[in-house]
Structure 1
Amino acid sequence: MVISGTPGAQRYDLNGLGELFPRLRALHPDKVALITSTREVTFAELDRESSNLAAALVRRGVVAGDTVSLFASNRWEWIVSYHAALKAGAVVNPLNVMLTAEEARFVMNDAESSVLIASAERLSAIQGVLDEIASLELCICLDATVGEALSFTELIAEEAPDFAPVQVEPASLACIAYTSGTTGHPKGAMQSHRSLVLNCAYTAIMHARSDDDLIVTALPCTHVYGNVAINGTLMVGGTVALMERFDIVETLSLISERKATLFEGVPTMYAMLLNSPELAHADLRSLTRCTVGGQTIAETVIEAWERISGAPLIELWGMTELSGLGTTHAAYAPNVHGSIGVALPGTQLKVADIDDPAIELPAGRPGELMVRGPLVTMGYYNNHQATAEAIRPDGWLHTGDVAMHDGLGHFFVVDRLKDMILTGGYNVYPAEIERVMIGHDAVALVAVGREPDDIKGEVAHAYVVLATGRSATESQLIEYCRTQLAAYKVPRAVHFVDSLPTTSSGKLMRRKLRELRPEADRRLADAATDKQ
């Protein structure tokens, strides 16, 4: 597989990402590749330490095709471990740090993990279930060792200057990444070496990434968006400033002090930044573009961020089953606000009738977004039924997203099909209501979920975090919605809360909104008491 970076960059062949660091070491040995709160790491150090760990894994019995699970928050050791596993010819299994011990046990058993590399915190949390993972043979701790785990620090100190990455076939399995599992058990999407390399390369090209770039991100390494943002930048010789978790002050400080050229995040991060008093004192002049994905974002938020930062905010869309992005805007093309962009090279998209996916819908008609091409998952690990349900015989993948297109190549996501609210026979999409409500100057964050209703079947309820220094009543926000939404789409109730439930990547978790009702009711009761 031949990949080239920006115009004028050296071309090089990659069968898999395990071959990436040796090439980067040859091109930029002493350049800082990765910045974290604990260490700055050069390309030469990333290559040497990942090779040392890969050699240590091989010496301890890891063979090509073995599964290596990674369980830790963002840190430089995660990046080294990811590339070490690929260099050893192993299959990477990233574990979401929010998994419980039982959830982690299920995933590692399902993925048939033979190695676990984890932080002391995560390793301690799952000690009680390790004996229940039949395939597990080796544990490595990134910090002070826990139990019988080996020391990561000692392993990367075992020099292996002659180690060469195990040769892999581009079409072979590189990663088993598990979906969030909102219904039943999560499913392990199989990502090929080809899909990982292509997604990083195409993302880099579409966003015009180069070795002049320094990106700031708190996107989880375990998430495909975070993986592509990190490796797509490293691929072209750029530098990544990686936060352990999203923090407003740290984000703004890194952008200012490091003269960052890109910030990459999800909609809630931008909404929180825009609501922060710290933003008024931040220096964002170095930013040349920013990216946003994970969920739909209101055009009002895009416009506000672009106005304040002076940088275009580029929307993108992707999924675990694509190893990252499926669409985005090219950096030098028109940035159509509200659109997730155009298909990545070699990727086919269509909007299909929800009841009959064989029927392709014309421009302006909402249906299910479907995708086909080399980025599409190889299937779900050990789950032939789920694979058959998701991927049609002709190769088209069901995404579960409702979308439409404009006939000019641009696609627009309406919402997740599973989040649709059926009220009185009408389809109501929470994201549409959220995009309207975030336009009110008193609303900092908003999420909309379904509630059962005796008459309508289901109705929409909105959960709102008020903007700093602003106030609004439930009736005011409902009336605001009436001016912009059809009557059946207007939320039946508004609940005021201090925060919204999110995933480790910062995406809203609508299924957990009802858990906020006690907090909202207490706030309402307190407000009523204050008036008396």
Structure 2
Amino acid sequence: MEQSIGALVKDSARRFGDKTALIADGKHWSFRQLDNFSSIVASALRERGVGKGSVVSLYSPNCAQWIIAYYAILKLGAVVNPLNLMLTPSEAAYAVNDCKAVAVLGALDKLVPLRDTLGRDRIRLISFSGTGATIESFDDLLAGDDKGTYPVEGIAPDDLSTIGYTSGTTGHPKGAMLSHRSILLNTAMTSTLHVRTEHDTVVSALPCSHVYGNIVMNSAIACGMTLVLHAVFDAKVILASIEACRATMFEGVPTMYMYLLNLPELHDYDVSTLTRCTVGGQTMSPYRMKEVESRLGAPLLELWGMTELGGLGTTHPLYGPKKHGSIGVPLPFLSARIGSLEHPSVAVTAGEIGELQIRGPVTMMGYFGRPEATAETIDTDGWLHTGDLACVDEEGFIFIVDRLKDMVITGGFNIYPAELERVLCEHPSVAMAAVVGVPDEMKGELAKAFVVCRNGADLHPEDVLDFCRQRLAAYKVPRLIEVVDDLPKTSSGKILRRELRAKALPHNQTS
């Protein structure tokens, strides 16, 4: 394993040279080019005062410049702060200021008006797409010379490499600090379990700023794969890309697969080169997982991870037993347990629901500037409390039940939205579903389901309710059904429950 993340691209350039590493925006980039350009940008950043320990933010959709800048920052021993492009300008400015970034690179039009908020004299803005009175051009950095040896000396595996901000559903988001070791080990173990090699071509629209997309990118570079990167997910474009590039892997979140299944033209595309796909980010119905495998002709490996782990915590291996609906087993070198909700340090028995906890060398170093929040998340024995409700079976396979904060309590009964969503997605007319709790004077909360109709199907709320009554205990059946055209999602494709909760006010409810 390399000593630093920046060394990944250097080593791959040595091993794979002019082989295509990246296809983005219709252009091909070799491993040698990515290494050379990232060293040139590292030199340019160094001339602008960026050095070991400096924090640099990246705020851009997927593109070659994002990847070049990412490795350039890390080759300097600086710290990368990958920002979700869906953040509002004020949210992005908060993160940039909170982590004390010295520069922001990317698509910066939205940030220029906040220049004073960011600190006009402190933060340098460098744009991927243009220049202006207050910003520099990334092209000018690329036009320079490589004036040093990169990665620089003195970068240790346990040095800080990344500050990744959590979604921050309540209050301000927190910056999870991750070491080089965390990202490198996560990349190596993910690659090992999925058997990623230089013979693979992977298609992805997962944002590189998200931990899932970041591991896809780093594993492609580390293993000599060709990464076909898309800035946004479009089902037809993705399928055409798989066909044209003869991709062996596609990686995505459940909603992406739902869009693929819902596309009438799916059978028109040749996806026979796929040898495996991965899915993570949210739970997925086993029924739909089997349909994906049948329609795409490749196994679907479910995985689970979080920002505080720098990527995956668990996955299914390519070779080995698999269970649909399970997130698999811990990565090598990691331990997992299901802690009691009443006594978190006590592991529950197989089949009991508790909080998933992870311990090992990939866990974050802590939250930047938030020691109290760190102590609340990582206990004195090193267990990271994930906030996910889960259970484990007798064979050691872990099953996510739901997010602890998403649990709906109705009349004293616990309802897990993910369980309801899995049942709803088994209905032949339902393409996607999301369940949230809505206030109720009598029962405290009621479960409300938002469902999206499959193309060409008829969807009637009462039929959906009857379907649920046959498969769920009476108290679990959603009391409200609303048919919608689509569901709100994050840039990585996760369903935004908080927006649905805001929408699910009494005057908006239909049954």
Q: What band does the TM-score fall into relative to the shorter chain?
A: over 0.9
Counterpart amino acid of residue 22 in structure 1? K
Equivalent runs, 1:71-470 vs 2, <5 Å: 71-119=59-107, 123-134=108-119, 136-160=122-146, 162-167=148-153, 168-470=155-457
- Secondary structure of the residue aligned to 2:251 is strand
Cα distance per residue 1:492-527 (max 9 Å; x no partner): 010011010111100011111145459x969x79xx
Counterpart amino acid of residue 156 in structure 1? L
Counterpart amino acid of residue 131 in structure 2? T
Contact 2:468-2:477 at 8 Å conserved across structures? yes
Q: Distance in 2 between matches of 1:149 and 1:291?
A: 39
Q: Distance in 2 between matches of 1:277 and 1:512?
A: 29
CA shift for structure 1 position 133: 2.3
Query: Which of 49, 53, 71 is the aligned partner of 1:65?
Result: 53
- Secondary structure of the residue aligned to 2:439 is strand
CA shift for structure 1 position 418: 0.4
Counterpart amino acid of residue 382 in structure 2? G
Partner of 2:27: 39
CA shift for structure 1 position 162: 4.2
TM-score, length-normalised on structure 1?
0.94
Contact 1:404-1:413 at 8 Å conserved across structures? yes
TM-score, length-normalised on structure 2?
0.97
- Secondary structure of the residue aligned to 2:103 is strand
Q: Distance in 1 between matches of 2:304 and 2:79?
A: 25
Cα distance per residue 1:362-404 (max 9 Å; x no partner): 1110100000000100000000110010010110011000000
Say if 2:490 is the partner of 1:503.
yes
Cα distance per residue 1:439-467 (max 9 Å; x no partner): 00000011001100111100100001101
Structure 1 stretch displaced more, 163-172 or 243-252: 163-172
Counterpart amino acid of residue 235 in structure 1? A
CA shift for structure 1 position 161: 5.9
CA shift for structure 1 position 156: 1.1
- Secondary structure of the residue aligned to 2:102 is strand
CA shift for structure 1 position 51: 0.2
Structure 1 stretch displaced more, 182-191 or 230-239: 230-239
Contact 1:124-1:146 at 8 Å conserved across structures? no
Contact 2:112-2:134 at 8 Å conserved across structures? no
> Which ranges of structure 2 fall in alignment gaps of 5 or more residues?
none
Contact 2:103-2:125 at 8 Å conserved across structures? yes
Contact 1:198-1:375 at 8 Å conserved across structures? yes
What's the C-alpha RMSD, in Å, of the aligned pairs?
1.6
CA shift for structure 1 position 165: 1.0
Q: Distance in 1 between matches of 2:218 and 2:106?
A: 20
- Secondary structure of the residue aligned to 1:393 is coil
Contact 1:16-1:196 at 8 Å conserved across structures? no
Cα distance per residue 1:189-215 (max 9 Å; x no partner): 001000000001111001000000000
Cα distance per residue 1:1-53 (max 9 Å; x no partner): xx2xxxxxxxxxx1111111111111111100000124210001000000000
Q: Distance in 1 between matches of 2:76 and 2:422?
A: 46
Query: Which of 470, 486, 502 is the aligned partner of 2:473?
Result: 486
- Secondary structure of the residue aligned to 2:283 is coil
Between Structure 1 and Structure 2, how many residues are aligned? 509
- Secondary structure of the residue aligned to 2:224 is coil
Q: Distance in 2 between matches of 1:487 and 1:472?
A: 22
Q: Distance in 1 between matches of 2:344 and 2:158?
A: 27
Q: Distance in 1 between matches of 2:352 and 2:359?
A: 20
- Secondary structure of the residue aligned to 1:311 is coil
Q: Distance in 2 between matches of 1:213 and 1:136?
A: 43
- Secondary structure of the residue aligned to 1:46 is helix
Partner of 2:38: 50
Counterpart amino acid of residue 191 in structure 1? L
Q: Distance in 2 between matches of 1:402 and 1:146?
A: 48
- Secondary structure of the residue aligned to 1:125 is coil
Cα distance per residue 1:291-332 (max 9 Å; x no partner): 000000000111001011110000000000000000001111
Contact 1:116-1:136 at 8 Å conserved across structures? no
Structure 1 stretch displaced more, 293-302 or 138-147: 138-147
